[in-house]
A and B are shown apart, each in its own frame.
Chain A
């Protein structure tokens, strides 16, 4: 089975721009979670989507949004980029029946640099 894939792998943007990141889960997985990873804060939960609906949400501003499509692929959007948004953005997929219990499988991440 193919693993979780994320595109693009690297991005450079400037402050004020917006960015869209994409995640394709493992085949058969219906839950996709997004995380921001920075050296000081570690992995911080952004949100989780299951069957095209946001099921859980972390403490991030409204500039961070996401969506999930009927094939379980997910996109994450960050508008009005700030320097502090520079981070590794990780996507994780799971079967989705039991949030907070099932094993999550992570993609390689998208490294975003905001200048």
Chain B
């Protein structure tokens, strides 16, 4: 079983839709949770960074962590064509490496 599972999609939504991206994990020791966005032919860039359980909001983006269910989510409100990219979840234990999901490909149709 992989440490982190992520539905690869692809996901296609109309402009203005609310997008929900999710990851599950098996290691209950994970404490730090991240979402990265990766455009084609580019490296991943950090979008959201959360510690332990709870919600964090930044503009149109909201990250949720539910440690009891070992489940994290990223919500994108009022999605734009510029949001079209691959979204990667990542998580870690302090002092250790980061574990990444395989990424979900998102297309926002104008």
Name A residues whose Cβ lies closer than 8 Å to a Cβ of B.
4, 33, 35, 39-45, 48, 56, 58, 90, 92, 98-101, 103-109
A48 touches B97 (CB 8 A): yes
- Asked if B59 is at the interface of the complex by the 8 Å CB criterion, the answer is no
How many B residues, CB 8 Å from partner? 24
- Asked if B41 is at the interface of the complex by the 8 Å CB criterion, the answer is yes
Closest to A48 in B: B97
A100 touches which of B36, B43, B45, B95 (Cβ 8 Å): B95
Name B residues whose Cβ lies closer than 8 Å to a Cβ of A.
6, 32, 36, 41-46, 49, 88, 90, 92-103
A108-B42 CB under 8 A given contacts A99-B95, A100-B93, A103-B49: yes
A101 touches which of B32, B36, B102 (Cβ 8 Å): B32
How long is the Cα–Cα vector from A64 to B95 in the complex, in angstroms? 22
A40 touches which of B32, B94, B100, B102 (Cβ 8 Å): B102
Kindly provide the distance from the CB of A89 to the nearest chain B CB, expressed in whole angstroms.
11
